[in-house]
Amino acid sequence: MAREGGSPTAYMLEKGVSTKRGNGGGTHDQAFCMKVLGSDPRTKNAALRELVQITIDLGLYIATGTKVKIKSPVLSEKDPILRSHFVTCDEYYGNAISSLREAVSDLKRGEYKELGFEGGISNADANDCEDEFKRPPTYKSPLAVENRRLGLFGEIIVIIANLLNS
């Protein structure tokens, strides 16, 4: 899968993330993707299957931590609209965690189309959570960083699944 003399990680970074969105589905943030996948020593010579497992693990770490973070405002927020946003985001993050766990199973079975589908769900859940705070009356999202990261991990999963499926 990699070019002669290159690692699968380099191939994925070169071919996968450089693809323009709309022309095959690259990532919104190529620099983030390259930083995340390029900085983890496990990825240096990882095959695409290992890369996607690392990405799923990172996504699960973000999603699980964010779900824990959401619990406090769900219980203590006095503003009913803001509390409702947190409750909805808690559901989105629960769905994202389920999708990422299913992605692990899809990867083990070699079901790459389904793997990409699960990555897309985690991306959509993160975006939907962010959109909750944009509904009138709008609030500055206290989960913007987490939503962005989870969304990008979902995109990376989709990109790698497409490369594995080709």
d(Cα 79, Cα 2) in Å, to the nearest integer? 52
d(Cα 163, Cα 133) in Å, to the nearest integer? 34
pTM of this structure: 0.83
User: Between these two residues, 75 and 108, which has the higher pLDDT value?
Assistant: 108
Tokens of 92: 């989105």
90 φ/ψ angles, rounded to the nearest 5 degrees? -60, -40
Mean pLDDT over 21-50 rounds to 68
User: Between these two residues, 39 and 1, which has the higher pLDDT value?
Assistant: 39
Res 14: pLDDT: 58
What ranges do the domains of the chain cover?
A: 8-165
57 and 42 Cβ atoms separated by less than 8 Å? no
Fold of 8-165: Butyryl-CoA Dehydrogenase, subunit A; domain 3 (1.20.140)
10 pLDDT higher than 70: no
126 and 151 Cβ atoms separated by less than 8 Å? yes
Percent of the chain residues past pLDDT 90, beyond the cut: 66
27 pLDDT higher than 70: no
89 pLDDT band, cuts 50/70/90, is very high
**Lowest-pLDDT range of 20-34, 61-75, 124-138:** 20-34
